Amino acid sequence: MDAPLLTSIQSPADLKRLSVDQLPQLAQEIRQAICDQVALTGGHLAPNLGVVELTIALHYVFDFGYDRLLFDVGHQCYPHKLLTGRLGLLPKLRTREGMAGFPDPDESKYDLFAVGHAGTAISTAVGMARGDELNGETNRKSVALVGDASIVNGVAFEGLNNAGTLDRQFLVVLNDNGMSISEPQGAMAAYFDRVRVSPTYGDFKKRARKVLENIPGGSILEEIYHRGGEILKHAIATDHIFEHFGLVCVGPVDGHDLPTLVDMFNEIKDIDRPVLLHAKTIKGKGFDPAEDDATAFHSPKPFTVDGCRVELATSGRSFTAAFADAMLQLMAEDEKIYTVTAAMGPGTGVDKLIDKYPSRTRDTGICESHAMDMCAGIAKTGQKPFFAVYSTFSQRALDQAFQEVALQGLPVRVCMDRAGLVGGDGAVHHGFMDISIFRPLPGAVLLAACDEPTLNASLRFMKDYDAGPSFLRYPRDSVAKTPFQSDTDCPPFQLGKANLVIAPKDKPDLVVLAYGMPVYHAAQAIESLRGEGRDIALYDARFAKPVDIELLRKVISADIPVLTIEDHALAGGFGSAVLEACNEAKLPTHQVKRLGLPMKWIKQASRSAQLAEVGLDAKGITHAIREMLSNHPAPSPDTAVARTP
Pairing mode, strands 361-363 and 384-390: unpaired
Specify if 216 maps to a domain: no
State pLDDT tens for residues 575-587. 999 999 999 999 9
- Identify the pLDDT of residue 201: 31
How much is the CA Rg of the chain, to the nearest whole Å?
Answer: 27
Percent of the chain with pLDDT over 70: 88
- Which of 145-154, 225-234, 586-595, 620-629 has the weakest average pLDDT? 225-234
Specify if 635 maps to a domain: yes
Span 270-289, average pLDDT: 90
Q: Check if the beta carbon of residue 387 is closer than 8 Å to that of residue 371.
A: yes
Is-catalytic flag, 384? no
Span 354-380, average pLDDT: 96
Q: Residue 1 — pLDDT band, cuts 50, 70, 90?
A: low
Average pLDDT across the chain, whole number:
89
Indicate whether 645 pLDDT > 60: no
**Enclosing domain of residue 80:** 6-195+240-280
Q: Residue 227 — pLDDT band, cuts 50, 70, 90?
A: low
Specify if 291 maps to a domain: no
Together in a domain, 378 and 447: yes
Between 37 and 179, the higher pLDDT residue: 37
Catalytic residue from among 107, 243, 267, 368 = 368
Indicate whether 186 pLDDT > 90: no
Indicate whether 396 pLDDT > 90: yes
Q: Residue 633 — pLDDT band, cuts 50, 70, 90?
A: low
Together in a domain, 555 and 406: no
Pairing mode, strands 510-515 and 248-254: unpaired
Identity of the amino acid at 155: V
- Which of 84-98, 287-301, 352-366, 465-479 has the weakest average pLDDT? 287-301
Q: Check if the beta carbon of residue 247 is closer than 8 Å to that of residue 157.
A: no
Nearest Cα to Cα of residue 535 among 553, 511, 557, 501: 511
- Identify the pLDDT of residue 307: 64
- Identify the pLDDT of residue 216: 43
State pLDDT tens for residues 408-458. 999 999 999 999 999 999 999 999 999 999 999 999 999 999 999 999 999
d(CA 391, CA 473): 7
Between 173 and 213, the higher pLDDT residue: 173
Is-catalytic flag, 233? no
Together in a domain, 108 and 254: yes
Pairing mode, strands 337-341 and 361-363: parallel
- Identify the pLDDT of residue 549: 98
- Identify the pLDDT of residue 184: 55
Pairing mode, strands 510-515 and 361-363: unpaired
Between 196 and 438, the higher pLDDT residue: 438
State pLDDT tens for residues 267-278. 899 899 999 999
Indicate whether 205 pLDDT > 50: no
- Quote the number of domains for the chain: 3
Together in a domain, 329 and 271: no
DSSP state of 185: -
Together in a domain, 448 and 541: no
Indicate whether 210 pLDDT > 50: no
Q: Check if the beta carbon of residue 235 is closer than 8 Å to that of residue 269.
A: no
Together in a domain, 516 and 597: yes
Together in a domain, 503 and 354: no
Span 366-384, average pLDDT: 96
- Identify the pLDDT of residue 638: 46
Specify if 489 maps to a domain: no
**CA atoms in the 13 A half-sphere facing the CB of 244:** 4
CATH number at 551 reads: 3.40.50.920
Nearest Cα to Cα of residue 540 among 527, 554, 553, 523: 523
Together in a domain, 469 and 614: no
Together in a domain, 543 and 465: no
- Which of 141-150, 173-182, 337-346, 599-608 has the weakest average pLDDT? 173-182
Between 221 and 407, the higher pLDDT residue: 407
- Identify the pLDDT of residue 379: 98
d(CA 399, CA 544): 21
Specify if 173 maps to a domain: yes
Give the DSSP H or E segment for 515.
Answer: strand 510-515
Catalytic residue from among 283, 413, 418, 439 = 283
Together in a domain, 265 and 389: no
Classified as helix, coil or strand, 56 is helix
- Considering the entire predicted model, what is its pTM? 0.88
State pLDDT tens for residues 93-148. 999 999 999 999 999 999 999 998 989 999 999 999 999 999 999 999 999 999 87
- Which of 147-161, 169-183, 571-585, 605-619 has the weakest average pLDDT? 169-183
Count of C-beta atoms within a 10 Å radius of residue 472? 26
Catalytic residue from among 86, 396, 418, 473 = 396
Specify if 231 maps to a domain: no
Pairing mode, strands 248-254 and 236-237: antiparallel
DSSP output for 568-594: EESTTSHHHHHHHHHHHTT---TTEEE
Is-catalytic flag, 643? no
- Identify the pLDDT of residue 620: 97
List, in sequence order, every beta strand (DSSP E) within 412-467. 413-417, 445-448
Indicate whether 311 pLDDT > 90: no
d(CA 591, CA 179): 53
Together in a domain, 71 and 189: yes
Specify if 92 maps to a domain: yes
Specify if 567 maps to a domain: yes
Burial of 266: CB neighbours in 10 Å, binned 0-12, 13-18, 19+: middle
Q: Residue 213 — pLDDT band, cuts 50, 70, 90?
A: very low
- Identify the pLDDT of residue 206: 39
- Identify the pLDDT of residue 639: 42
CATH number at 382 reads: 3.40.50.970
Residues 6+ apart with CB under 8 A from 44: 38, 75, 76, 78, 101, 298, 299
CA 316 to chain centre: 22
Span 42-68, average pLDDT: 95
Final residue belonging to a domain, choices 438, 473, 508: 473
Q: Check if the beta carbon of residue 347 is closer than 8 Å to that of residue 320.
A: yes
Together in a domain, 368 and 249: no
Q: Check if the beta carbon of residue 59 is closer than 8 Å to that of residue 68.
A: no
Ramachandran sector of residue 365 (left: φ over 0; alpha: ψ -120 to 50; beta: rest): left
DSSP state of 110: T
- Identify the pLDDT of residue 298: 84
